[in-house]
Amino acid sequence: MMKRLCTTPTCTSEAVVTLTYDYDGQVAAIGPLAPPSAQAGYDLCERHASRFTVPAGWTLLRHVESSGDS
């Protein structure tokens, strides 16, 4: 399987999440890496995902993986 790279210009790090937008709802979501066939969204590395911010008035949703431990 080919390694997917972060879509941030000049970044050569491996992508770990996918960023998607709902422009009408003013929401951005960062979640698990989407399947390669899904063409909507932007793949981001850990560094760029952790630094990502949204414009004023927008909501940012971050999917948090559960470790399964209770």
Residue 59 and residue 5: Cα distance in Å, rounded?
A: 25
Give the model's pLDDT for residue 55. 97
- In the chain, how long is the greatest CA-to-CA distance? 40
Helix (H) or strand (E) holding 50: helix 46-51
| pLDDT one-digit tens code per residue, 2-45 | 789 999 999 999 999 999 999 999 999 999 999 887 778 999 99
pTM, entire model: 0.84
Question: For residues 69 and 62, which has the higher predicted lDDT (pLDDT)?
Answer: 62
